[in-house]
A and B are shown apart, each in its own frame.
Chain A
Amino acid sequence: MSIHPDLIELMHADIDGVAGEAEQLRLREAIARDPEVRDEYRRLRGLSDLLARVGPEKPADDLVPNVLRRVRAQRAAMKAGFFPRMLEAWPGGRVAIRYAYAVAAGALIGVVAVHVATGGRLLGPAVPDRDASATLLPKPGASRLDLAPAGVSGYVTLGPAAKTGSGADFGLDVTADAPVELVVRYTPADGGKVDVSVVKDGAPVPAGSIRMSPPR
């Protein structure tokens, strides 16, 4: 485009209705003289006329009532103070119920997730698996040896044989992921003492000794 910038500005000023009489005269002369100026002016005028044909659209009927409702709610909240203002920010009606359900469900899921993740310690001390059997009373006369000194979580028990009425029942209650190898040495001469060791890396690690409790 080789039209002088002053003339371009003049065209826009004319279209916007801000060109003075002398400027308008200058523009008319340029239009009459130069076909390029004439085409450019015709297109600009055409654009302006086209935009003028686009009529306004009517806003929705509820626009004014909606704004007034929000204004009233805001004024009421401002009068009432901070707490009601917070309530104002809280959604009302069915929306609030949905929020409440969502919060309650989220809280429940959170509690269960933390409970599971902490191994059940959230609502109290952890309950080891072996304690499930420990809640059963030991047989009368039975003794129990904790294997913890040998690094194993569990117990061995020794009690009078239930079926034969003589001899002893040896019990094992161990929680372990890998096989546990035990060495048990029964010594009748020493009051029926039973020495228990746990084999680790090929060597026995003593866990302790156990004797049958004297009959009550």
Chain B
Amino acid sequence: MSEPGDNQLVRECLDGDERAFEAILLKYQGPVFNAVLRMVRDRDEAGDLTQNAFLKAYQRLSSFDPEQKFFSWLYRIAINESINYLKRRGRLEPLDGDWAASSASPETALLDADLSAHVQDALMSISSDYRAVLVLRHFEDCSYDEISQIVGVSEKTVKSRLFTARRLLKERLLAMGILR
């Protein structure tokens, strides 16, 4: 995912080149928005949180370590922004019954248009720590090492969380009739 040039763009940003930051925005707005969206579900909130994440990244750009991957650093800000939002909303932990209320029949499960909403319902039924590793692995294609840097835990913990998260999500989707 990382492309050569991120560090160069960061340097140009720090030199006051606004176009460099615009280039970063254009490059990462989609991935960051989607990661946040999968974390919080609400599109409008995801848009606001993505904006906040980029603004914070801009404010803290001078503290970015070029030895790190820029997108890992950026994702970390975005995921933390999402988790803090969920904490403020009191939705850090799943609400029992959320997923059950929107259970789909096997027929509707075949429609991609509905699939996204049902998968999102199932995602929201697991805690944000597990959700974060799932989102980063499956929707953002991050490696264990990258997830470890973004979430700030060891690779071993990433694997452990990923296994548990998949088991929980699998159970939810089986119960919803989405997965057989």
A residues sitting closer than 8 Å to B (CB atoms) are 8-9, 12, 16, 18, 43-44, 46-48, 50-60, 63-64, 66-68, 70-72, 74
Contacts and interface: CB of A to CB of B under 8 A. Distances in A.
B29 A54 contact: no
Interface stretch (B53-61, B64-72, B81-89): B53-61
B50 interface: yes
Contacts of A59: 29-30, 33, 47, 50
B21 interface: yes
B34 A51 contact: no
B50 A63 contact: yes
Contacts of A70: 51, 55
A127 B134 CA distance: 74
A18 B144 contact: yes
Contacts of B120: 54
Interface in B159-180: 159, 162-163, 166, 169-170, 173-174, 178-180
Interface range on chain B (Cβ under 8 Å from partner): 35 or more
B51 A66 contact: yes
B119 A51 contact: yes
Contacts of B166: 12, 44, 47
A9 B22 contact: no
Nearest to B138: A51
Interface in B123-180: 134, 137-139, 144, 159, 162-163, 166, 169-170, 173-174, 178-180
B119 A43 contact: no
A56 B162 contact: no
B71 to A, nearest CB: 15
Given A59-B29, A59-B30, A64-B29, A47 B54 contact: no
8 contacts: A12-B162, A16-B144, A47-B179, A52-B138, A59-B29, A63-B47, A63-B51, A64-B26
A48 B37 CA distance: 19
B116 interface: yes
Closest 5 CB pairs of A and B: A59-B33, A51-B138, A56-B34, A67-B54, A64-B25
Given A68-B25, A72-B18, A54 B30 contact: no
B15 interface: no
A71 B21 CA distance: 9
B112 interface: yes
Contacts of B180: 46
Nearest to A56: B34
Given A12-B166, A48-B138, 11 more contacts: A44-B170, A46-B179, A50-B179, A53-B112, A59-B29, A59-B30, A63-B25, A64-B22, A64-B29, A68-B21, A70-B51
Contact of A43 (B21, B37, B139, B174): B174
A9 B163 contact: yes
Contacts of B179: 43, 46-47, 50
B15 to A, nearest CB: 13
A58 B159 contact: no
